[in-house]
Amino acid sequence: MTKTKKEEKMVQTTRFGLLYDKTPQLSYDELKSELRTIQRNIRQFKNNAATQFFDYMSKREAMKAEMGTGKYPPDEDVLDGLKISNLFYKMATETIPEIQTGNASAAVASVLSRFNTDYKDVLKGTKSLASFKRDQPINISGDAIKLYADGGKLYIIISIFSTAKRQALGFKNGQIKFEIWHKSKAGCDIVRKCLSGEYSHGSAMLIYNKNKGMWDCNLTYKFDAKDNSLIPDRICGIDIGFLFPVYAAVGGSHERLYIPGNEIDKHRRTVEALRRGFSQSRKFAGEGSVGHGYKKRMEPVNDIKDKIAKFRNNKNHVYSKRFVEFAVKNRCGIIQIRDLSGITEKTKEAFLKNWSYDDLKRDIKYKAKAQGIIVDDKIKPYYTSQRCFKCGYISEDNMNKRDFVCQSCGHKEHVDYNAAQNVATKDIDLIIERECEIQGIPYPPEKKKKKERGVAGTDAETEEDVDEDIEEEFVDEDFGEAS
Ligand SMILES: [Zn+2]
């Protein structure tokens, strides 16, 4: 076995609060009002860009089809001599004249990356092109940022404004200084590492934090992925369990890690309590009511939504960290995760009904990458719990409530550990498909009739509806802008 030596640059972000270090030229109220204007204009720019991009896409696809070469025409042919990035840059400098050019470029890069990510889905019609809501983040280029420490405090200096704007404000150097307000020591350490040169900072986003009524900064930073002597072909398998919500095992070893069921139960109770509050506030606010005071009345609703989102993010952060640490501790070069996207809601197990497995997967991927671990989260979900990991025999009868008892070789095992071991097997998809062929089992399995596992009652469905409703509104705010 060889050891991996990965020297890949990793990019992550850290978020902190900004405490304005006042200058005589610009009061805090003035600054806030300037930032608000910029936000509005950024939103305008992004929404205009979306419209433009849609036209560009359609024209480009039409031209590609017409040419019949299977290749896209150069942007210049589609856009009368311009590249899409140039067109956007022009739009940005015109629509957001208050910001300096580097920041305009950062805004362009951010929308372009978003549109390109969605391109295929938009083309298929499964997604519509992003529309940008209020409170858009303000993109700041890496060059417009300076960090420094003074008297035990950390500061960030940001060049936000364009030359014209600076002149209008009578504020020549236009450098806005903030004290960095990081609630965690780890967060401060990241900034200090940027200062010492161990990390290097990149671009940032200024985000208005409605709850605190202040501005936050999301700063990206780069560092070398750690060489932690992973064994490239050692696999950590992660699966949704029957007895435990999520279960991990290291292939060929006894090592295992799981989230205790009661933790998720606690989580579910909290979310349900929050959601009850949510339904009540919604009733109070009046469905679909508009007019004076509506916004005010919706405030508690937004509060609760924020709480649920924060709570979930927090939990996913804790869990993903635990799983990745487990993989690192066991020197797994690979993490394999069972993919549940093709699976019906009911199979997703009651535990996870109120909790997003996809978010957990995403967090695991993100953290694992930083450790140089390769993640395959597309392991097919078929028969991983019914297959005996010792002899490969697949049967529904192998599963006997808490215990897995192989009907072929007699091997007895914890059901979730057995499944996680399967997921931790190299080429498991192929192996299971072949085994099915040999045993004459349909692959993929035929869909079961609904009534076989009629667990969820009507109550649960209503709850899920509310839940989805909340979730939908979160997506944009939290992750839509990650770049
Ligand atoms: Zn067996």
Q: What would the pLDDT profile of 203-219 be if each residue is shown by its tens digit?
A: 999 999 888 889 999 99
Instruction: Quote the ligand 1 centre to 399 CA distance (angstroms).
Output: 12
* 369, amino acid identity: K
Instruction: Quote the ligand 1 centre to 407 CA distance (angstroms).
Output: 7
Instruction: Quote the ligand 1 centre to 64 CA distance (angstroms).
Output: 54
Instruction: Quote the ligand 1 centre to 398 CA distance (angstroms).
Output: 9
Q: What is the reported pLDDT for 246?
A: 86
Q: Which of 207, 154, 194 is nearest to 21 (CA)?
A: 154
Instruction: Quote the ligand 1 centre to 195 CA distance (angstroms).
Output: 56
Instruction: Quote the ligand 1 centre to 393 CA distance (angstroms).
Output: 5
Residues of the chain with pLDDT under 50: 1-6, 285-289, 344-348, 350-351, 450-483
Positions of CATH 3.30.420 in the chain: 231-259+318-467
Give the environment of ion ligand 1: residues with CB less than 5 A.
388, 390-391, 393, 406, 408-409, 411
Question: What sign results for the dihedral spanned by CA atoms 400, 403, 404, 407?
Answer: negative
Q: What is the reported pLDDT for 472?
A: 28
Q: What is the reported pLDDT for 212?
A: 84
pLDDT digit string, tens, across residues 78-95: 999 999 999 999 999 999
Q: What is the reported pLDDT for 340?
A: 75
- CA-CA distance, 93 to 219, in Å (whole number)? 23
Q: What is the reported pLDDT for 200?
A: 93
Instruction: Quote the ligand 1 centre to 429 CA distance (angstroms).
Output: 18
Q: What is the reported pLDDT for 405?
A: 94
Instruction: Quote the ligand 1 centre to 339 CA distance (angstroms).
Output: 24
Q: What is the reported pLDDT for 298?
A: 60
CATH topology of domain 231-259+318-467: Nucleotidyltransferase; domain 5 (3.30.420)
pTM of the model: 0.54
Q: What is the reported pLDDT for 358?
A: 79
Instruction: Quote the ligand 1 centre to 357 CA distance (angstroms).
Output: 29
Q: What is the reported pLDDT for 468?
A: 32
Q: What is the reported pLDDT for 283?
A: 55
Instruction: Quote the ligand 1 centre to 388 CA distance (angstroms).
Output: 5
Instruction: Quote the ligand 1 centre to 417 CA distance (angstroms).
Output: 14
Q: What is the reported pLDDT for 162?
A: 95
Q: 199: which residues sit within 8 A by CB, 6+ positions away? A: 190, 193, 221, 222, 223
Instruction: Quote the ligand 1 centre to 352 CA distance (angstroms).
Output: 29
Phi, psi of 206 (to 5 degrees): -95, 125
